A = this chain, B = another copy of it.
Amino acid sequence: MEQTNEALKSRNIRTVRAMLNEMNVADIAEELEKMEEKQAVRLFRILPKEAAAEVFAYLSRDMQKHIVEAITDPEIGGIIDDLFLDDAVDFIDEMPASVVQRILKNVPENKRNIINHFLQYPDNSAGSVMTIEYVSLKADMTVAEAFAHIREVGIDKETIYTCYVTGYDRVLIGAVSVRTLLLADTSVLVSDIMEPNVISVATVEDRETLVSYFNKYDFMAIPVVDHENRLVGIVTIDDALDVQKEEASEDFAIMAAMSPSEEPYMKTSVLKLTKNRILWLLLLMLSATMTGAIITSFEKSLAAVPALIAFIPLLMGTGGNAGSQTATLIIRGMALEEVALSDVWRAWWKEVRVAALCGAALAIVNYLRIKLLGGDFLLAITVSMALYATVILSKSIGCLLPIGAKKIKLDPAIMASPLITTIVDASSLTMYFVIARAVLKI
């Protein structure tokens, strides 16, 4: 790309164009991101018209914004018109109001109406990720007619490989792949070779469900229908790949007590990173005060047997780890729709048994370690009993809290390790001191 820079400097546009022609649009977008803004805008404007919208769709929001601010109104209109509808809507959805206004002013009225309609679908719904660039056929077309239709409209469609068959009032009645069409005789009717049992999703369906459909059925595209089973759009598998990646990243962030961000890490500013983390850190710090208060309230016991203090990190740490193991599996299982709300008691019973086994192993090893290092018998018993109880409790909480969150329609990922750790800390310390008082008679 240094060559491109050189060529740009020498203003040899023909050389640059020839180089760009050989590159994949995703690679051109990547190179633009590395350039200074002014340079990037200049390069963007010499892209061939067909490539411009494609490259634009691959750019980061920041770069898209710079470009839109730097180019003329007709250029904007042209790019938005050339974008697939789902990319256009995604982009417009995240621009500031002033930019949105300027964009909508410059696209043709019919496109403007469709965009406005799409902007109203709820975030994270199938409607918000679908596109309208699909091929629809009629049941009484022959295969030859179907191909003629595909050749006529196919160039602007996101996929031509699955065609949807619609009946009266755009109601979805079947699907047929180009493979099937290619292998069939040209005089056969579409209705004879189409698959009449089409799996579709509703516009309001959650996009995570959409991904689980792609995972389950290995489709290349899934049709989206309204409440009267009319075909309104499709979602293609490449969008499902993006959604799946974003959802996983979101869950990773939330489970580590951060607000999720769509920006790549290296491009996120220090202030933004701080903003995404500080509230959770404050909240968790203040809730750790509770644990401190519990310790203070047992100050006399600790003064009587100071050796008890040394085991506080061990109990808190093990409880946190045991709980977050469970919480992670449950949260992930629910995200992949492998664990349902109705599994709650079966899952809990599974975790209690796992906890009983893990707790026993940990308690025995811990007892032996204390005894081998010459520790007191009753102290060893106290710590091991507290450890066992902590593991059972933390795995129960790690299982029930995320499922409970989902039940009341909260994101289960919020109930991940940091929050569970805080709750487990408080309860495990209380159990520890209660057991210590009873066993050590203090």
A-side interface residues toward B, CB under 8 Å?
Answer: 22-24, 26, 30, 147, 150-151, 154-155, 160-161, 178-179, 182-183, 197, 199, 214-220, 237-238, 240-242, 244-245, 248-249, 251-253, 255-258, 264-266, 270-271, 273-274, 277-278, 280-282, 284-286, 288-289, 291-293, 295-296, 299, 302-303, 306-307, 309-314, 316-318, 320-322, 324-325, 327-330, 332-333, 336, 338-339, 343, 346-347, 350, 353-354, 357-358, 361-362, 365-366, 369, 387, 391, 417-418, 421-422, 425, 429
Cβ–Cβ < 8 Å partners of A160 in chain B: 178-179, 182
| Interface pair A217/B161, CB less than 8 Å apart | no
Q: Indicate which residue in B24, B237, B258 contacts A241 across the interface (CB closer than 8 Å).
A: B237
- Contacts A151-B183, A256-B417; is A318 near B285 (CB within 8 Å)? yes
Give, as a whole number of angstroms, the nearest-CB distance from A146 to chain B.
11
Q: Cβ of A358: which chain B residues have Cβ within 8 Å of it? A: 274, 277-278, 281
Task: For the complex formed, measure the closest distance between the CB of A114 and the CB atoms of chain B, giving whole angstroms.
Answer: 22
Cα separation A23 to B197 with both chains bound (whole Å): 8
Q: Is the pair B321, A418 in contact by a Cβ cutoff of 8 Å?
A: yes
Using CB atoms, name the residue of chain B closest to A287. B317
Which among B199, B317, B330, B354 is the interface contact of A24 at CB below 8 angstroms? B199
For the complex formed, measure the closest distance between the CB of A235 and the CB atoms of chain B, giving whole angstroms.
13
Question: Considering the chains assembled together, what is the distance between the CA atoms of A386 and B384 in angstroms?
Answer: 31
Q: Which residues of B contact A361 (CB under 8 A)?
A: 278, 281-282
- Chain B hits for A284, CB < 8 A: 317-318, 321
State how many angstroms separate the Cβ of A36 from the closest Cβ of chain B: 18
Nearest opposing residue in chain B for A282, CB measure: B365
A362–B155 CA distance with the chains assembled, in angstroms: 57
Instruction: Summarize A's interface: helix, strand, loop or mixed.
Output: helix
Question: Does the CB pair B336–A249 fall under 8 Å?
Answer: yes
Q: Which residues of B contact A369 (CB under 8 A)?
A: 286, 289
Q: Give me 21 A-to-B residue pairs in the complex whose CB atoms sit less than 8 angstroms apart, sorted by A's number.
A: A237-B238, A237-B241, A244-B245, A258-B325, A265-B347, A266-B350, A277-B325, A277-B354, A278-B357, A281-B318, A281-B362, A285-B318, A288-B314, A288-B317, A291-B317, A295-B313, A296-B309, A302-B309, A313-B316, A317-B425, A320-B421
Complex A-B, nearest 8 residue pairs according to Cβ-Cβ distance, in ascending order: A256-B328, A291-B313, A292-B310, A265-B333, A264-B338, A248-B248, A288-B314, A288-B317
- Determine if B266 and A288 form an interchain contact, defined as CB atoms under 8 angstroms apart: no
Whether A418 touches B324, Cβ cut-off 8 Å, given contacts A329-B265, A358-B274, is yes
Q: Is the CB of B289 within 8 A of A324?
A: no
- Find A214's partner among B241, B329, B418 (CB 8 Å cutoff): B241
Q: Which of A23, A273, A330, A422 gathers the greatest number of chain B CB atoms within 10 Å?
A: A273
Contact status of A285 and B425, CB under 8 A, knowing A339-B265, A347-B265: no
Contact of A292 among B252, B278, B314, B425 (CB under 8 A): B314
